[in-house]
């Protein structure tokens, strides 16, 4: 294996030195996992103008086309929920934009206004085969702000962004409560208050929308002044921006499902460490789950995290994706590849684990027409490995985004 790894790295380095940013590229893999069908032995992926042009065996490779070889090739990995680009690796006040604590409800905050494309953690994820991230304001307030989807390349936020207003991040649980002597405000202090404040914001947005519609239909009625908070929440009510609700305990999960039904809004459960207690209810509600990082610290309302919850949800037909998550101190980011790997010793199906960081993550995020699988017409985003992608001793030996080799590091 060591000899094979060295050989693959040598081939990769040679091709990179020749034409790193060629328009056309052919990637060969001893095994190609497409996340769109059966794995392909001795497969070839051809990328033209940044898009996948062909995938299969024994494909014609144009003379002079850049060619890269690897042991295993997969779609570029997707982190379904992170705060990378908002939270920096220095863990100092100046690079921590993931959570504004001055108010409990702040739907007007936009991730795109704070996202840092040049944050070293973005590069760190890219080196580990992560090509797309869903990032933004983290859990910790009732409504903490909007999220976005970005590629892990680009010098500016405009270059990196796929979707600038993806979901509304919200929290129903222990972390949404005001506690500790350093808190300057007194509310919310109980979960009942959290839910009431949540509902009041949705009702206010509903009334705001009704007044705008009335003014449009009747010239004698005046539209209300613009309100960024309410405008953002109207997008939630209209279904343009799903609610990403962080809820771990079973009673908080039930509150999330109840609010979704009351207001007929789209909800995606985040973390959901006790989801295994409510499989029937979650399935009946048609709600997908971005499951907690498998290696989360089992503390507070995540004290009941397990390595088997994701598998149980998938077996029940509930869409599941893995995430790197958010913790206020360290680690500042996890790698979804490792989080998915942790489920395999506990019975997770190999392909299900891969799908939860590729195509299923893309479906939950609403970007499966663009990324998540190796299919003709999708973005040329790939992760290249020198061995089994879920084996701890394997390395990512190449990351391709939009047909460009953006990393060949194994560090």
| Cα–Cα distance for residue pair 146/166, rounded to 1 Å | 7
DSSP 342: T
CA-CA distance, 25 to 270, in Å (whole number)? 37
Residue 409 has a pLDDT of 66
Distance, in Å, from the CA atom of 371 to the CA atom of 76, rounded to the nearest integer, reads 8
Q: Return the CATH superfamily for domain 77-371.
A: Metal-dependent hydrolases (3.20.20.140)
Q: What is the DSSP letter of 320?
A: E
Residue spans in the chain of domains classed CATH 3.20.20.140: 77-371
3-state helix, strand, coil split of the chain in percent (to 5) is: 30, 25, 45
CA distance 218 to 230: 21
The H or E element spanning position 131 is strand 130-136
Give me the pLDDT at residue 410, please.
55
Contact 189, 173 (CB under 8 A): no
Separation of alpha carbons 90 and 81, rounded Å: 20
Strand-pair partners of 171: 246
Ranges for all domains in the chain classified under CATH 2.30.40.10: 1-75+374-411
Architecture of domain 1-75+374-411: Roll (2.30)
Q: Determine the Cα–Cα distance for residues 102 and 80; give it in Å rounded to an integer.
A: 27
- Rounded CA separation 298/384 (Å): 32
Please report where in the chains the tokens 């506990």 appear, as a residue. 346
**Crossing angle between the packed helical segments 228-237 and 191-217, to the nearest 10 degrees:** 90
CB 194 within 8 A of CB 201: no
Nearest CA to 112 out of 93, 97, 131 is that of 97
Enumerate residue ranges in the chain where pLDDT < 50: 1-22, 181, 411
Beta strand pairing call for 404-407 and 267-271:
unpaired
* Dist. CA 230–CA 104, nearest whole Å: 14
- Return the H-helix or E-strand segment holding 250: helix 250-263
How distant, in Å, are the alpha carbons of 108, 256, 283 from that of 165?
A: 11, 21, 26
pLDDT of 64 reads 86
């Amino acid at each position: 294996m060591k000899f094979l790894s060295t050989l693959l790295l040598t081939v990769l380095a040679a091709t990179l030195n020749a034409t790193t940013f060629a328009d056309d590229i052919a990637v060969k893999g001893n095994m190609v996992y497409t996340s769109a069908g059966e794995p392909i032995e001795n497969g070839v992926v051809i990328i033209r103008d940044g898009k996948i042009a062909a995938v299969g065996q024994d494909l014609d490779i144009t003379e002079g086309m850049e060619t890269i070889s690897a042991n295993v090739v997969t779609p570029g990995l997707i982190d379904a929920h992170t705060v990378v680009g908002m939270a920096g690796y220095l863990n100092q006040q100046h690079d921590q934009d993931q959570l504004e604590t001055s108010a409990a409800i702040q739907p007007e905050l936009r991730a795109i206004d704070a996202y840092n494309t040049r944050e070293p953690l973005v590069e760190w994820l890219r080196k580990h085969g992560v090509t797309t991230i869903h990032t933004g304001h983290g859990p910790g307030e009732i409504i903490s702000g909007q999220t976005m989807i970005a590629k892990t390349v680009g010098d500016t936020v405009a270059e990196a962004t796929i979707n600038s207003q993806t979901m509304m991040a919200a929290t129903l649980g222990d972390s949404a409560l005001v506690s500790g002597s350093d808190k300057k405000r007194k509310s919310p202090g109980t979960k009942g208050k959290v839910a009431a404040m949540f509902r009041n914001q949705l009702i206010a947005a509903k009334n705001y929308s009704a007044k705008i519609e009335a003014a449009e239909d009747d010239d004698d009625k005046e539209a209300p002044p613009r309100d960024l908070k309410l405008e953002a929440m109207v997008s939630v009510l209209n279904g343009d921006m799903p609610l990403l609700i962080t809820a771990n305990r079973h009673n908080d999960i039930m509150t999330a499902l109840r609010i979704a039904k009351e207001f007929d809004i789209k909800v995606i459960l985040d973390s959901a460490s006790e989801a295994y207690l409510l499989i029937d209810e979650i399935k009946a509600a048609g709600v997908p789950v971005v499951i907690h990082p498998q290696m989360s610290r089992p503390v507070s309302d995540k004290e009941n995290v397990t390595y088997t919850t994701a598998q149980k949800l998938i077996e029940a037909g509930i869409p599941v994706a893995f995430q790197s998550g958010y913790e206020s101190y360290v680690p500042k980011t996890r790698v979804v590849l490792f989080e998915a790997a942790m489920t395999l010793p506990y019975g997770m199906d190999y392909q299900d684990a891969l799908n939860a960081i590729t195509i299923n993550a893309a479906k939950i995020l609403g970007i499966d027409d663009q990324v998540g699988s190796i299919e003709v017409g999708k973005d040329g985003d790939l992760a290249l490995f020198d061995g089994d992608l879920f084996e701890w001793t394997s390395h990512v030996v190449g990351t391709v985004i939009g047909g460009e080799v953006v990393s060949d590091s194994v560090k």
